[in-house]
């Protein structure tokens, strides 16, 4: 189902958020409050209720992998596209489509499985992976605790050593 909630065509450029779950709604609301032109795409019209009351952007009900929807979103070389649906394969496909077909200026895709980042190698698509972010955060917390106890090991060194041991 394709439905435009607000009739005005978005201005070219700025930000398109594909997926209006908690993360997408938070990002879109925050960017809108900063004065950015934001368009949010989601299949579920009810998802737009998560946007803040002050959200001043556009909403498009439809799939982030539908060419008509992406055209309505006004994606071009000045656009940043952030793909944050709850479906990893949709994020991958939407990111690839916006990069290759619409030549979006900057494309970011959320991946749940860090091993899937290899899909984007050489495509100039950035990834954000909650699993990797959490692991890196835990490494930093552990390193801070080690430093506080007088052990100044760097977690990056630990990971590198682990990779070196695994290769040996």
> For residue range 122-133, what is the model confidence (pLDDT) as tens digits?
889 999 998 888
Q: 71 near 65, Cβ under 8 Å?
A: no
CATH superfamily of 3-128: NAD(P)-binding Rossmann-like Domain (3.40.50.720)
| C-alpha distance from residue 108 to each of 39, 60, 160 (Å) | 15, 19, 27
Give me the pLDDT at residue 164, please. 44
Give me the pLDDT at residue 10, please. 47
When pLDDT is averaged across residues 101-107 and rounded to a whole number, the result is 95
- For the chain, residues classed under CATH 3.40.50.720 are 3-128
């Amino acid at each position: 189902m394709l439905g435009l909630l607000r009739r005005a065509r978005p201005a070219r450029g700025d930000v398109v958020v594909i997926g209006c779950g908690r993360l997408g709604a938070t990002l879109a609301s925050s960017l809108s409050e900063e004065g950015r032109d934001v368009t949010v795409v989601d299949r579920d019209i009810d998802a737009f209720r998560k946007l803040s009351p002050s959200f001043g952007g556009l909403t498009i009900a439809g799939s982030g992998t539908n060419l008509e929807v992406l055209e309505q979103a006004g994606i071009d070389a000045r656009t940043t596209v952030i793909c944050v649906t709850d479906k990893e394969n949709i994020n991958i496909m939407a990111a690839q489509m916006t990069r290759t077909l619409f030549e979006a200026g900057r494309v970011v895709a959320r991946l749940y499985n860090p091993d899937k980042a290899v899909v984007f190698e050489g495509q100039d698509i950035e990834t954000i992976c909650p699993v990797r972010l959490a692991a890196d955060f835990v490494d930093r917390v552990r390193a801070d605790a080690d430093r506080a106890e007088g052990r100044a090991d760097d977690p990056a060194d630990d990971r590198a050593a682990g990779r070196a041991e695994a290769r040996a």
